[in-house]
């Protein structure tokens, strides 16, 4: 019979890093590159800050420790607004990568890092960001939804299908069988609750999913900007945003953005 000491949460971290735009969510990943290999599903197409921070802190050797795949559907402008140009494949392409990280390069060669579920404790799967991954799921579901003769459809059905798709995706990579570390970067979705309170939740798709998505993760931290422009990784909950980690007695309330995520992982990996 296994003891609590053997629980898989002692080996793998499943984490949400949330924050408003410009708070350093993506750039903060740089502190992890010295100790971990990162595989990033890049839905935001915004890794330039990470590239510059890794180059400064770790040199070219550090850049080689980050693998990424940018997943964005091509869009076009129409009289009805912006829409996907062709098939919406960003979400399903990401699902394939979550199952087996392989793809064909421009020169015809194959890159193959195997199933992320078997990467182990020295690698980190990064979803950047879950916010735009959810948007990609919506675009995919919108193309799949049944339509009437004039092309009309029920948008509520699209939201429902997109929410279920994202929740199933999260349930997969936060499960015990998915044996690697996971960091999901999201923006903050501020929602007015029925009890009159206003809370910030991970921004996914629609209001129904955001308040429950955190249940799947054992850690939630927030990047924020303090007075004077100081960026920090905050670990202690606030009146507006619920944060958590498995070692609240050992974790400091906040860490500098330059070392924050690495500090967070070190506390979780310590024996005490």
**247 vs 12: CA distance, rounded Å:** 14
What integer pLDDT is reported at residue 84 of this predicted model? Answer: 80
What integer pLDDT is reported at residue 57 of this predicted model? Answer: 87
Partners of residue 160 on adjacent β-strands: none
What integer pLDDT is reported at residue 86 of this predicted model? Answer: 82
CATH number of 76's domain: 3.40.50
What integer pLDDT is reported at residue 59 of this predicted model? Answer: 85
Domain total for the chain? 1
Q: Is residue 218 part of a domain?
A: yes
Q: Is residue 67 part of a domain?
A: yes
Query: Whole domain around residue 100: which residue ranges?
Result: 4-232+251-269
pLDDT per 10-residue tile (average), the chain, 272 residues: 62 95 93 96 92 90 93 84 83 97 92 97 96 94 76 80 95 96 95 86 90 95 92 94 94 96 95 69
Q: Is residue 237 part of a domain?
A: no
Q: Is residue 242 part of a domain?
A: no
Edge to edge, the sheet with strand 66-70 lists: 66-70, 37-42, 120-128, 180-186, 14-18, 219-225, 231-234, 254-256
What integer pLDDT is reported at residue 13 of this predicted model? Answer: 96
Q: Is residue 240 part of a domain?
A: no
What integer pLDDT is reported at residue 200 of this predicted model? Answer: 93
pLDDT for 77-113, tens place per residue?
887 778 787 888 999 999 999 999 999 988 999 999 9
pTM: 0.92
Burial environment of residue 198 by CB neighbours within 10 A (0 to 12, 13 to 18, 19 or more): exposed
Q: Is residue 225 part of a domain?
A: yes
Q: Is residue 167 part of a domain?
A: yes
What integer pLDDT is reported at residue 25 of this predicted model? Answer: 93
Contact 197, 138 (CB under 8 A): no
Q: Is residue 238 part of a domain?
A: no
């Amino acid at each position: 019979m296994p003891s609590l000491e053997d629980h898989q949460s002692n080996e793998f971290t499943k984490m949400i890093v949330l924050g408003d735009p410009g708070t350093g969510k993506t750039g903060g990943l740089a502190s992890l590159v010295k100790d971990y290999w990162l595989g990033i599903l890049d839905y935001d197409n915004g890794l330039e800050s990470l590239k510059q921070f890794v180059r400064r802190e770790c040199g070219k050797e550090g850049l080689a420790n980050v693998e990424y795949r940018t997943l964005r559907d091509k869009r076009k402008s129409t009289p009805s607004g912006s829409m996907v140009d062709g098939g919406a494949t960003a979400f399903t392409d990401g699902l394939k990568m979550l199952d087996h990280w392989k793809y064909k390069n421009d020169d015809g060669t194959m890159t193959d890092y195997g199933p992320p579920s078997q990467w182990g404790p020295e690698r980190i799967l990064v979803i950047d960001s879950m916010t735009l991954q959810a948007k990609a799921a919506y675009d995919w579901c919108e193309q799949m939804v049944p339509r009437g003769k004039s092309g009309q459809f029920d948008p509520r059905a699209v939201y429902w299908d997109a929410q279920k798709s994202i929740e199933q995706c999260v349930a997969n990579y936060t499960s015990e069988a998915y044996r690697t570390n996971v960091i999901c970067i999201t923006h903050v979705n501020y929602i007015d609750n029925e009890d009159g309170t206003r809370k910030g939740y991970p921004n996914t798709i629609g209001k129904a999913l955001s308040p429950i998505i955190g249940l799947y993760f054992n850690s939630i931290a927030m990047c924020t900007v303090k007075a004077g422009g100081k960026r920090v990784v905050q670990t202690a909950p606030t009146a507006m945003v619920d944060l958590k980690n498995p070692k609240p007695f050992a974790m400091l309330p906040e860490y500098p953005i330059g070392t924050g995520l690495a500090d967070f992982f070190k506390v979780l990996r310590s024996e005490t």
